Structure formats: C-alpha cells, structure tokens
Amino acid sequence: MWKRIALLWTLVRTDARRLWFALRHPAAPGWLKIGAALIVAYVISPIDLVPDVLPIVGVVDDFVLVP
C-alpha cells in the first residue's frame, strides 16, 4: 500500500511541477492561467459547488476536473 501511495505522490508532484512551469511560460495565455488557478482552487476548496450527497453527479464533477 505504501508503494502505491509513494507512486501516486510522485505522479502528483511531477504533474504539479509541469503545470507550474507551463503556466510560468511567457507564451501561456492569461485565460489558461486563470482557468488553471480556478480549477486548483475548486479542487482544494472545502466548499463543493455540486455536493457529493447527490448520488452520481456529486462525484462525477470532481472526476471531470481532475483527470
């Protein structure tokens, strides 16, 4: 189990680093930077726009935002 957690952490860290460098690139458009910031804020935020109490829709919105 710890190997899986370590692998997941490595993937998340690598993806976060790639996103950071991509958004710092001068050619990255402003709307992309704002959109990425909003998605990260939504995923981290304890407030959920579509509550997870709803059987399917509540979970699907989180899976769609975080591929």
**Tell me, what's the pLDDT at 19?**
86
**Tell me, what's the pLDDT at 43?**
77
Instruction: Work out the angle at residue 48's Cα, subtended by the Cα atoms of residues 44 and 50, and round it to the nearest 5 degrees.
Output: 140
**Tell me, what's the pLDDT at 29?**
94
The whole-model pTM stands at 0.58
**Tell me, what's the pLDDT at 52?**
66
Kindly tell me the burial class for residue 56, based on how many C-beta atoms sit within 10 Å of its own C-beta (0-12, 13-18, 19 or more): exposed
Q: Where are the alpha helices (DSSP H) in the chain?
A: 2-24, 30-44, 57-65
**Tell me, what's the pLDDT at 31?**
94
Give 10-residue mean pLDDT values along the chain (67 residues).
Answer: 88 88 90 88 76 74 70
